[in-house]
A and B are shown apart, each in its own frame.
Chain A
Amino acid sequence: MTATISSKAAPVRFEAVTKRFGKDVVAVDAINLHVEAGKLVTLLGPSGCGKTTTLRMIAGLEMASSGRILIGDRDVTKLPATDRDVSMVFQSYALFPHMSVLENVTYGLTFSGFGKAEARSRALAGLDLVGLKGFDARLPSELSGGQQQRVAVARALVLEPQVLLFDEPLSNLDAKLRRQVREDIRAIQQDLGLTVVYVTHDQEEALAVSDEIVVMRNAAIAQIGTPRQLYDTPNDRFVADFIGEANLIACQIVAVEGDMATIEIEGYRHSLPSRGMATGPGTIAVRPSRLLIGADRGIPATVAKATYVGVRMEYTLTGAFGQVFAVHDDVDAPLEPGAKITMSFADKGPVLLPE
C-alpha cells in the first residue's frame, strides 16, 4: 500500500486580531489579514515586529486577546493548538530526541485516527517526499542539520493540514543549503497546493518563495503585496528599505499630468507614476541597479567607494543629494574612487513614496 500526500488547503483570515502580553505590551495590534487557500504567504519584518506572534496565533500556541481568527470557514479563535488543523515547522525543528525519525513523523498521525499500518505508510511517503528514504530508523541526533530540517517538514506535511506554518525554518542552515531547502519547500507547496504561512526576517528568502508578502512593523502591517509589488512600488521608506536595498533621494515634484509626474533633482528631470501625489517636495526610492552611471545628462556625483564582488561592481556615490549605493555590470573597466561622474535613473524603477 503506498500512500500519497494530498492537500486540504484552507484560507486563513484575521479580523482585527490583537495580542497583548500582560497589561501594556502590544505584540500584535488589530491586524486584518487574508491568506488565500493554496498560497504561500510570508510574514516579513525585523525582530520584535510581531510576525512570530502572528504565526503562533494561527497555530493556537498563543490566544488572541481580541478579534477573530478563521481557518477555512471555521472560527478557531478560542481553539487550542491541538484542535486546529494546522501544523508547524519550528525554528529549532523540535524533533523529539527520544524517538526515531519514523516515530517522529508518525507521531501526529497516531492522533489523527490512522491505523498503525496506514500511519506508517503515510510517514514513509512523507519521508520519501522530502528525500529521506531509508533514514527512518535514525535518531534525530544522528542526522545533519538539513536532514533534521526535512524530518521536521515531513512530520508537519504528512498530517495534510489545512495550513502549514514555518517559523524561520532556514535560519539554522548554511547558505547553500538554504537556497536548496527553500526551493524544495516551494516546490512541495506548489505541487500539493498547500496553504503555507512562513515567517522570516530575510527579505531575499521572502522574495524567492512567496506568492504574497506581509511586511510587518511595530505590531502592525506595513504593506501587503506580491514580491514584485513590494519591490517595485513600496508604500513607504520602511518597506522600500526593508525589501531589497533602496536609495531614498529627496526631490521636487514639478508637474503632475494624469497619473504621471515629473520630478526634478539638481536640474535633472525624470518622469514616473505620480501615485496620487501633488506637486511639491517628495522622496523617491531608487534600487541600486536602476541608477545609471555615465549618461550625458544627469546629477553630478563622485565615486566614494568601489568594490569588486565578482559578478558586478558596487559603488558608493556622493553628491549634493547625499549618498547612494549603485551597482554596475561592467567589471572590466571599473571606475576609480574619486572619479567625477553623472548619475541618472533608468526609465522604469524609480518610484515616488507617498508619504
Chain B
Amino acid sequence: MSVETRGAPRPGPARGPHGGRVGADNPGGANPVLIFWIVTGWVGFCLLPWYMVEDGLWSFRWLVGGYPFDTDYAPGAFLIAQAEKLWLAPLLIPLALPLLVLRRPKSDPLYAKILILAGALGFGWLIAQGFGIGIRGFSYDWLRALFGEMDARQYGMGYGAMICATAFLFLLTQGIAARGAINGDVFVVSTIGGVIAIVTAFVFFPIAKMLFAAFVTEDGTYSLSVFFAKFFDDRLWGLGCLWGARCGAAWNSLFLAIAVGVITTALGLCFALVVTRSGFRFKRGLRALTVLPIITPPFVIGLALILLFGLSGSVTQFVADLFGIPPTRWLYGFPGVLIAQVLAFTPIAFLVLIGVVEGVSPSMEEAAQTLRANKWQTFRTVSLPLMRPGLANAFLLGFIESMADFGNPLVLGGNFDVLSTEIFFAIVGAQYDQGRAAVLAMVLLFFTLSAFYAQRAWLGKKSYTTVTGKGDAGVHPLMPVGLSVPVLTIALGWAAFTIIVYAMILYGSVVELWGVNNSLTFKHYVTAFSVRFEEAGIRWTGAAWDSFWTTITIAAIAAPLTAALGLVTAYLLTRQSFAGKNAFEFGTMLSFAIPGTVIGVSYILAFNVPPIEITGTGIILVISFIFRNMPVGVRAGIASMSQLDRSLDESSLTLGANSWQTFRRVILPLLRPAILAALVYSFVRAMTAISAVIFLVSAEYDMATSYIIGRVENNDYGLAIAYSTTLIFVMLAAVGILQLLVGRVRIGRRTQLVTETPV
C-alpha cells in the first residue's frame, strides 16, 4: 500500500501484502485515519494556542511570549488547568470518547454510534460556546438572564480551536460513514462534511448575518414593514426608460446581464471554434489574446474605453475632426458598461467553452458524417448540441459576472444605476443604509439564482458524456465554410479591438499626463517600482511594492486552495449521489451569485467579532477569494467531469483503488485542463478583484487594486495605469508558468494539424 502523508482523510482498506484484499473489517489493527484525527484533536487541545494570537496566523512569536501558560497563548488544556475558561472543559469528554472504539471493527454498531456522538458533541459544543460567550461575556440576553452576568470573555478562535473543530468534524463524518452512508466511503463522507462546514461558515453565515440587516429598524429591532418599504422603491423597479426617463436599478442590471451573457457566450464560442476547428494559422496568438482581458483589473478597461471613446477620447476627437460629428457622452451608461463587460468577460466564456468544444468526441462527429450529414449539418445537429453544457455554463457565468461587476459600472455607469453600485453607495455613501443594501442584495440574488435554475432546466437530464473509456482515435472536423467565414471575421474583429484597447493602456502608462502633456516618460514606473541595491541587499523603495508583494502572496495562497475546493466539490456533484445534493450545489454556487460588495460588507459584519475574528488579517482576504472564485472551479470541473465516462471510475474501484485514489489518479489527471482553468482563474481574480477587497483591506494588508483605486481617486492616472500594466505582465508570466506546470493532458488524440504540438 503506497503511503500518502499529505492530503485529506485517506480511508485505506487494509490490504494483504500480496494482492488479496482484506476487507474493511480488520479487528486487529486500528484504523489509521481514525487514529490520525484523534491525535489531531488532542494536539489542538493540548499543544496549540486556543485563541487567535494577535500577530496573525503566520507569526510564531507566541512560542517565546509566555507559551504555554500566558492565557493569551495557552492551549485549551493549560487554560483549564489554570482554572480559566472552564466552559472548555466539557470538550474533554468528546475528545476521550473515540479512544474507546480504537480497537473495535468498523462494522461494530458501537463504533459508529460513539464516533457520531463524540463528533457531534465536540463540534456542537465548540460552536455553541463560541457564539455564546464573546468579548463582553455572554453574547445573548437570555443567556445572561439564565446564568447571570459573566465576567470572563473570549476572543476569536485560533489554531487550537480550529484544529479541534476540524478533528471533531472528521470524527463525526467517520462515524456517519461507518453507519453505511454512501457505501461507507470515508473519503466521500468526509469531503461532503468538510465542504458543507466551510461553506456554511464562510458563505451562509455571513450572508445570513447581512440579510438580517434588511429587517432591522433604526432602533435595532426587527420589522417587516421596513423591508417592504425598501423593497418597493421606485429607484429599484421603475420602468421609466420605456418612455425616456430612467429605469430602476433592478431592470438595468437584468437587461445588462442578459445582453452580456448572450454576447460573451457567442464571442467565446467563436474563439473556441477558431482555435479548435479551423485552419487559422495564428491560433496561438488568438488564444493568448483572449486571456488578456481577465488578467486586467476591470476598471482599467473602463479607463481605456474613456481614453478612446470618452468626450475627449482619441477616437471621438478623430471622428469629430473628420466628419464634424460633435462629441457626445454616449459611452457613459448602458453602451459603455456593456462594451467594458463584454471585453472583460468574453475570455471567461472562452475558457469554459474551449474545454467543452475540445471535449466533444471526434468520433461522434465522424459518426454523424458517415450518416450522410454534411459538415454544416454535423455541426448543427451533433457538435453544437453536445456543447450545450458549455454554452449554458458560459451564459450563466457571463450573466452572474455582469450582475456582480462593480468596477466598470462605477467608472462608466454615469446615470445608469445597477444593483452592485447601488449597494456600494448604500453602504459607503452618505445614506449609510445597511437595510437598503441588504434588500438590493436580495433582488440581485433572486436574479442570479433564477438564471441558475433556468440553466439547469435547459440542460435537463440528457447525457453529454462523450469521452468514454475507449481511446478515441478520431479527428475534429473543420468548420463548414459558411460558418467559418463569419466566425473568423467576428473573432478577428474582436481581437483587433482588444489589441487597440490594450495598446491604449500601454500607451497611457508612459504618457506624462493624458490629454494635457503627451510626452513620453517612464516616471510612473519609477515611482511605483524603483529598487535600490545596497550592501544589505535589495531595498524596495517604490511606492507600490508593499501592496504588490501582499497581492502576489495572497493570490498564490488562494489559487491552489480555490482550485482544490472547486474540483473536489465538482467531483462530489457529478460522481456521488447523496441526500441533499441539490441544496449542496446551491450552497457552493451561492457565493458566486453574490456580488463582491455584499461579500465584503457581510464579511466585515460577520468576522469582526468572535468566534471567527479575522477582519484586518490576510486570512480574510484569502478566504473571500476562495469562496468568491470557487464556483468557477466547480463549473469548470463539472463541465469536464460530465464528459468522463463513469466506467472509468468504476473500473478503478473494481481494481482496488478507493474513491480518494480514484479521484487522485484517474479523475484529476484527466481534468488537467479544468485544473489549469481553475488555477489561472482564481490566481488572476485574486490579483484583480476589487469589489470585495475594498472593504477587507487593512493598512497591513493592502492589495494592488485598492491601491490603484486610491491613486485614481487622487487623479494620479499615470501611476494607476503603469501599476495596472505591470500587473498585467506579472499575471501573464504567472499564467505561462502554470500552463507549463500543469502540462497538457495526454489523451492521445490525433490532432487535425501537425502544427499543434503539445506544450
Contacts and interface: CB of A to CB of B under 8 A. Distances in A.
A82 B653 contact: yes
Interface string A59-80: 1110100000000001010111
A83 interface: yes
Given A60-B654, A92-B469, A94-B468, 20 more contacts: A61-B654, A63-B183, A76-B23, A80-B185, A80-B658, A82-B658, A83-B24, A84-B21, A84-B23, A88-B650, A91-B647, A92-B645, A110-B2, A111-B2, A112-B19, A112-B20, A113-B17, A140-B471, A141-B748, A159-B656
A8 B20 contact: yes
Contacts of A84: 21, 23, 654
B4 to A, nearest CB: 12
A85 interface: yes
Given A83-B23, A140-B748, A61 B652 contact: no
Task: Classify chain A: how many residues form its interface, as a range.
Answer: 35 or more
Question: Which of the listed residues B2, B19, B107, B748 has the most CB atoms from chain A within 10 Å of its own CB?
Answer: B19
Interface stretch (A95-103, A259-267, A294-302, A327-335): A95-103
Contacts of B745: 98
A98 B746 contact: yes
A57 to B, nearest CB: 12
B13 interface: yes
17 contacts: A59-B650, A61-B654, A76-B23, A80-B184, A81-B653, A82-B653, A83-B21, A85-B21, A88-B654, A93-B470, A94-B650, A97-B469, A98-B745, A108-B657, A113-B19, A141-B749, A141-B750
B360 to A, nearest CB: 15
Nearest to B655: A108
B176 to A, nearest CB: 15
Contacts of A91: 647
Contacts of A92: 468-470, 645, 647
Across the A-B interface, give the 10 residue pairs with the lowest CB-CB distance, nearest first: A141-B471, A94-B469, A108-B655, A139-B748, A140-B471, A81-B653, A94-B647, A94-B651, A141-B748, A111-B656
Question: Which of the listed residues B20, B185, B467, B669 has the most CB atoms from chain A within 10 Å of its own CB?
Answer: B20
B23 A79 contact: yes
Contacts, number: 152
B747 interface: yes
B469 A93 contact: yes
Contact of A155 (B655, B659, B749): B655
Interface string B14-50: 0111111101100000000000000000000000000
A93 B657 CA distance: 17
Interface in B663-681: 665-666, 669-670
Nearest to A81: B653
A146 to B, nearest CB: 12
B26 to A, nearest CB: 10
A268 interface: no
B18 A114 contact: yes
B665 A95 contact: no
A112 B651 contact: no
Nearest to A138: B748
Interface of B: 1-2, 13, 15-21, 23-24, 107, 180, 183-185, 467-473, 645, 647-648, 650-659, 661, 665-666, 669-670, 745-750
Contact of B657 (A63, A111, A148, A156): A111
B470 A98 contact: no
A112 B469 contact: no
A114 B19 CA distance: 7
Question: Which of the listed residues B2, B654, B666 has the most CB atoms from chain A within 10 Å of its own CB?
Answer: B654
A25 to B, nearest CB: 15
A235 interface: no
Nearest to A8: B20
A17 interface: no
Contact of B21 (A61, A112, A140): A112
A112 B23 contact: no
A133 B697 CA distance: 62
Nearest to B746: A98
Given A88-B651, A94-B469, A94-B647, A112 B670 contact: no
A159 B472 contact: no
A97 B471 contact: yes
A137 B2 CA distance: 23
Contacts of A156: 654-655
B471 A61 contact: no
B650 A113 contact: no
Question: Which of the listed residues A61, A76, A145 has the most CB atoms from chain B within 10 Å of its own CB?
Answer: A61
Contact of B13 (A82, A99, A142): A82
Contacts of B17: 113
Nearest to B21: A85
Contacts of B658: 80, 82, 111
A26 B468 CA distance: 28
B664 to A, nearest CB: 12
A243 B419 CA distance: 70
Given A76-B23, A113-B19, A140-B471, A81 B650 contact: yes
Contacts of A145: 470
Nearest to A90: B647
Contacts of A172: 470
Given A87-B655, A97-B670, A108-B657, A113 B16 contact: yes
B657 to A, nearest CB: 5
